[in-house]
Structure 1
């Protein structure tokens, strides 16, 4: 069912490891033209374009794009009590972990009368995207909204696709969670068009442009986020999910197989990868995957994902090579199930989120761990991070010098400005001390 990549007996270089990483044959670039057309359509025709796109792509035409307050109130009232309790606890935990991501302002005194203050300023307005294709993700509402609120964002617009099963309304559970979080600006719109609408605004539905767009989505959403970058900031170009498990002979093959299946059920393009130095474990996990994939609810989807070129069991000589392979892969989710997970952790550089030991599955992070589940996919963890309060913060340096402090460095400024053939820079300083000014 799942391919095996055997790297034993070799000492692969970083470049060779990158070349051996299994990836799906998908690219954001292939969706760019379609995403650009959808964005341009929204910019030209506004709310009507969003309704037309919903009818064509989501197979339902919403009654209106902006969700009425009554829909949110009704959804909160109808929310299943068990789900409400779980969401409330998730909100509490994510709020605690997100608060730790907000840096304190720090003032550095360079010398008497000369200070530089590092402050972290939130953006004023953000657009948060919550997907609604193969599954519905109320947990993503929490993961997007809570860090924004914790960072101090004052204005939040939330977009989620209209649902054909709910007469063109946003899924009621998503509406309910947004309501519990106090978000009342919600739009029934999805895909690339929604991303463009958030970035550029849509006058006829009262949608003002946002400064940052965050949230996961399909390849068209990812392409749209790439296209609007510059008009607005983004968190990352999130695509199909992935999980990589580093495990040794002490690991439980059933738990590993269950965790691989749990991510494979997201999407046919989801990547499920095990890296191990134990051939016996590899065989046991492969056998368990056949059984679990056949019996799980989304069996067909899981089987396609596990058979895909993006999924694999990778055999290595030792855990050092396993860690090196993981760093080359840059997993969205990394599980370390070894006899000494902390020792392996010391060698890990690139990962969106890391789960240590047999009782820290990715499913925990998807919901109530307190960590954020909006994470870089497709290897982007090699150079970017997941969503957090810091996503909505901008570091700014505030400079304050007294007359005496500036006078003390005036000569240095003049020397450097002359060296760069920008003498007016130095003149701007010396003018402050001219006797006849």
Structure 2
């Protein structure tokens, strides 16, 4: 892994290069995705099936064969080894418990004039869940996306996931059953996002699309936003570890590996004021990396986007973290609470030596669908609230109308909207 030092003259340029996630190929991807979306809007099922046959190598597949029967999901769940099913169900229960606590509560109150004000809360009606498929099959993502939707009260959850050459992962099928997915279609890519957003002959349009995918899926979600809601446009996954030197360097190495094994574009960084700890972590990385089944992917990610960064002190480490706004932030320090108030931006924070980011990926309870690429500066983890809408309530009393009308009239006239002013003034009791 490369070594950086905040006192070096070239540190700012090197750090900026690590945090830059703009892809030179993005324009071409966006253009191709726009073509696919337009085609699906025009041809519906026919376009979806054509892309599936070509891109997922499923020649001759029919549209009916793309949908997984509910019985098959249940059979996959029931066919898991007892311990595997128990792990899925335990994770789902913890995710549901956390999501339940996140639900937005309705509220109403009466002001001094007797006006009734407040908000009611309603779930969205239909959610689309995108789950990676093929070799990148993540049952945990199915749980993290579908369980909060179910807790929020979404009436119908439609899941899409590509099945290259027709292969569907049994764990993904089982997770769909555990999470309460209503329909499961083995389609993926931009065509699946377009079908969810605009509907087709066989797929109803949804109200919101959530879930991770490749660059084409991310582009499609960005392009259909406004037609439907999305939770975020996810980029490559990332972790930043702030270490004070009091932790086990092998634990730190394993946590870096856990992030880097996602794919070659994953980012794994560790920042510490302790040079000896950085040396020990570097040695642990070299000692342990070849033991990893995904060592080639880990090496590529660490070579491309990994770094061990020496800083002056923990205050500077936190300042770097806030600039990066990492998806995952590990506080591998003896007293993590002392840093918490200084942290402004992070998708999720994992506090202390015994709290690896991997717990958050699977079963701690908080969602692992998190903002990436510095978007934690303005967005948050997926939760039950993402599947709820707030609807404002206003009921004006006679006294309230008398107080509000002059204010509204003044503002309406200031904006040159005479009908607004007249509408407000008409509500005043003239008897």
Normalised by the length of structure 2, the TM-score is 0.93
Moved over 4 A (4+): 15-18, 27-30, 433-436
Q: 1:83 to 1:163 in 2, by over 3 A?
A: farther
Deviation of residue 45 (structure 1)? 2.7
Q: Distance in 2 between matches of 1:73 and 1:84?
A: 11
Q: Distance in 2 between matches of 1:332 and 1:293?
A: 23
Q: For the Cα contact (< 8 Å) 1:22–1:312, is it kept in 2?
A: no
Q: Distance in 1 between matches of 2:278 and 2:28?
A: 35
Indicate whether 1:6 and 2:2 are aligned.
no
Counterpart for residue 264 of structure 1: 260
SS at match of 1:72: helix
Check if 1:274 corresponds to 2:234. no
Q: Which residue of 1 aligns with 2:94?
A: 93
Could you tell me whether the CA contact under 8 Å between 2:119 and 2:391 is conserved in 1? yes
Contact 2:398–2:429 (CA under 8 A) maintained in structure 1: no
Q: Which residue of 2 aligns with 1:52?
A: 50
**How do residues 194-213 of structure 1 correspond to structure 2 at under 5 angstroms?**
194-203=192-201, 205=202, 207-213=203-209
Counterpart in the other structure of 1:124 = 125
Whole-Å separation in 1 of the counterparts to 2:419 and 2:80: 65
Q: Which moved more, 1:115-124 or 1:336-345?
A: 115-124
How big is each residue's C-alpha offset from its partner over 1:64-122, in whole Å with a ceiling of 9 and x where there is no partner? 22222342233233223222100110111011111111122122322232121023322
* Closer/same/farther in 2, CA of residues 282 and 88 from structure 1, 3 Å limit: same
Counterpart contact for 2:40–2:191, Cα < 8 Å:
yes
Aligned Cα root-mean-square deviation (Å): 2.2
Q: Does 1:161 align with 2:178?
A: no
Is 1:367 matched up with 2:356? no
Write out aligned runs for 1:223-238 (5 A): 223-238=219-234
Deviates more, 1:391-400 or 1:24-33: 24-33
> Following TM superposition, by how much is the alpha carbon of 1:283 offset from its aligned partner in structure 2, in angstroms?
1.2
Equivalent position to 1:338, from 315, 326, 333: 333
Residue 182 (structure 2) aligns with = 184
Q: Is the 8 A contact 2:402 2:429 kept in 1?
A: no
The separation in 2 between residues aligned to 1:176 and 1:123, in whole angstroms, is 25
Aligned partner of 1:412 among 404, 407, 411: 407
| Further displaced range: 20-29 or 274-283 | 20-29
CA contact (8 A) 1:244 1:273 kept: yes
The superposition leaves residues 175-225 of structure 1 with CA deviations (integer Å, 9 ceiling, x where unpaired) of 22212233231111011111111111111x2x1101110001111111111
Change (3 A) 1:245 1:433: closer
Aligned twin of 2:384: 389
CA contact (8 A) 2:268 2:306 kept: yes
User: 1:396 offset after TM fit, Å?
Assistant: 2.3
| Aligned pairs for 1:287-306 within 5 A | 287-306=283-302
Distance in 2, Cα, partners of 1:134 & 1:50: 21
Q: Single out whichever of 298-307 and 426-435 deviates more from structure 2.
A: 426-435
Return the offset for 1:35. 1.8
Partners of 2:360 and 2:319 lie apart in 1 by 24
Q: What does the per-residue CA deviation read over 1:379-410, in whole Å, with 9 as the maximum and x for residues that have no partner?
A: 21122111111111222221111223212332
TM-score where L is the length of structure 1? 0.92
Q: Is contact 2:260-2:266 (8 Å) kept?
A: yes
Report matched runs for 1:129-168 at 5 Å: 129-164=130-165, 168=166
Contact 2:156 2:182 in 1 (8 A): no
Which has the higher mean CA deviation after the structures are superposed, 94-103 or 169-178?
169-178
Give yes or no for contact 1:332–1:379 (8 Å, CA) kept in 2. Answer: yes
In structure 2, relative to structure 1, the CA distance for the partners of 1:366 and 1:434 (3 Å cut) is closer
Does structure 1 residue 431 correspond to structure 2 residue 430?
no
Classify 1:306/1:18 alpha carbon distance in 2 versus 1 (closer, same or farther; 3 Å): closer
In 2, the alpha carbon distance for the partners of 1:79 and 1:47 equals 33
| Aligned residues of 2:134 and 2:167 also touching (Cα < 8 A) | no
1:226 Cα deviation from its structure 2 partner: 0.6
Residues 289 and 295 of structure 2 are in contact (CA less than 8 Å); yes or no, is this contact kept in structure 1? Answer: yes
Offset of residue 25 of structure 1: 5.8
Counterpart check, 1:240 vs 2:239:
no
State which drifts further: 286-295 or 80-89: 286-295
Cα offset, 1:17, TM superposition: 9.8
1:335, distance to aligned residue in structure 2 (A): 0.3
- Counterpart in the other structure of 2:85: 84
Matched, 1:323 2:318: yes
